[in-house]
Chain A
Amino acid sequence: MNYRMIKYTLGWLLLFEAGFFLVPLLTAAVYGESEIWCFAVSMLICIAAAGLLFIGRPRSRVLYAREGFVIVALSWIFLSIFGAIPFVLSGVTPSYVDALFETVSGFTTTGASILPRVEDAPRCILMWRSFTHWVGGMGVLVFIMAILPLSGGQNMHIMKAESPGPSVSKLVPRVRTTALILYVIYFALTVLQFVLLLLGGMSVFDALNTSFSTAGTGGFGFRNDSMASFSSYIQIVVTVFMLLFSLNFSSYYLAFKGRFKDAFNSEIRVFIAIVAVSTAAITLNIRDSFATVGEAIKHAAFSVASIISTTGFMTVDFDLWPQFSKMVILMVMFIGACAGSTGGGIKVSRIIILFKGIGREIKTLLHPHRVRKITMDARPVDREVVRSVNSYIMVYVLVFFASMVIVSFDNHSFTTGFTAVSATINNVGPGLDMVGPTQNFSFFSIPSKLVLIFDMLAGRLELFPMLLLFTPSTWRNK
Chain B
Amino acid sequence: MNIIIVGCGRVGQTLAAQLNEEGNNITVIDTVAESVKDLSARYDVMGVVGNGATHTIQQEAGIDSADLLIAVTGSDELNLLCCLIAKKAGNCQTIARIKNPIYSAEAPYLKDELGLAMVINPEYETAQEIARVLRFPSAIKIETFAKGRVELLKFRLPESSRLVGMSVKEVIMKLHCDILVCTVERDDEAYIANGDFVFEGKDIISIIASPKNAADFFRKIDYKTQSVKSAMIVGAGETTHYLCNLMQKDGIDIKVIEKKLDVCEEIADKWKNVAVIHGDGSDKEILLEEGIGRVGAFVALTGLDEENILLSLYAKSVGDAKLITKINRVDYDDVIRHLDLDSTVYPKSITSDIIVRYARAMKNTVGSNVETLYNVIKGKVEASEFIVRENSPITEKPLSELTFKENVLIAAILRGKTVIIPRGHDVIKPGDAVVIVSGVMALHDICDVLR
Give the interface of A toward B (CB within 8 A).
65, 152-153, 155-157, 170, 172-177, 382
Contact = CB atoms under 8 A, between A and B. Distances in A.
Contacts of B44: 152-153, 155-156, 173-176
A289 to B, nearest CB: 50
A173 B45 contact: yes
Contact of B25 (A155, A157, A174): A174
B167 interface: no
A173 B1 CA distance: 11
B171 interface: no
A153 B20 contact: yes
B43 A153 contact: yes
A206 B41 CA distance: 43
B282 interface: no
Contacts of A153: 20, 41-45
Given A172-B46, A173-B46, A382-B33, A157 B27 contact: no
Nearest to B48: A169
B35 to A, nearest CB: 14
21 contacts: A65-B41, A152-B43, A153-B20, A153-B41, A153-B43, A153-B44, A153-B45, A155-B44, A156-B40, A156-B44, A157-B41, A172-B46, A172-B62, A173-B2, A173-B25, A173-B26, A173-B27, A173-B44, A173-B46, A176-B44, A382-B33
Contacts of B26: 173
A147 B43 CA distance: 19
A61 B279 CA distance: 50
A234 B33 CA distance: 47
Contacts of A177: 25
Nearest to A152: B44
B25 A172 contact: yes
A173 B36 CA distance: 13
Contacts of A174: 25, 44
Contacts of A173: 2, 25-27, 44-46
A455 B134 CA distance: 69
Given A172-B25, A173-B45, 20 more contacts: A65-B41, A152-B43, A153-B20, A153-B42, A153-B43, A153-B44, A153-B45, A156-B40, A156-B44, A157-B41, A170-B40, A172-B62, A173-B25, A173-B27, A173-B44, A173-B46, A174-B25, A174-B44, A175-B44, A382-B33
**Which of A65, A173, A176 has the largest count of B CB atoms less than 10 A from its CB?**
A173
Contacts of A382: 33
A170 B46 contact: yes
Nearest to B2: A173
**Which of B26, B33, B42, B46 has the largest count of A CB atoms less than 10 A from its CB?**
B46
A173 B62 CA distance: 10
Interface in B231-270: none
A50 B337 CA distance: 43
Nearest to B17: A153
Given A170-B46, A172-B25, A173-B27, A156 B41 contact: yes
A279 to B, nearest CB: 35
Interface string B35-75: 00000111111100000000000000010000000000000
A191 B2 CA distance: 31
A156 B2 CA distance: 19
A152 B33 CA distance: 22
A156 B62 CA distance: 20
A382 B44 CA distance: 21
A160 to B, nearest CB: 9
Contacts of B27: 173
Contacts of A65: 41
Contacts of B2: 173
**Which of B20, B41, B44, B46 has the largest count of A CB atoms less than 10 A from its CB?**
B44
Nearest to A65: B41
A175 B27 CA distance: 12
Interface string B1-14: 01000000000000
A319 to B, nearest CB: 46
A172 B48 CA distance: 11
B24 to A, nearest CB: 8
A176 B27 CA distance: 15
A37 B26 CA distance: 48
B90 to A, nearest CB: 15
A219 B41 CA distance: 35
A155 B42 CA distance: 10
Contacts of B41: 65, 153, 156-157
A155 B44 CA distance: 8
B195 to A, nearest CB: 32
Interface in B64-90: none
B21 to A, nearest CB: 8
A177 B65 CA distance: 15
Contacts of A175: 44
For the complex of A and B, 8 pairs with smallest distance between CB atoms: A153-B44, A153-B43, A173-B25, A173-B46, A170-B46, A173-B26, A173-B27, A175-B44
A144 to B, nearest CB: 16
Contacts of B42: 153
Interface string B280-314: 00000000000000000000000000000000000
A340 to B, nearest CB: 16
A170 B20 CA distance: 15
A363 B44 CA distance: 40
A157 B41 CA distance: 7
Interface in B406-438: none
A195 B26 CA distance: 38
Contacts of A172: 25, 46, 62
Contacts of A157: 41
A173 B27 CA distance: 6
A176 B25 CA distance: 11
B369 to A, nearest CB: 25
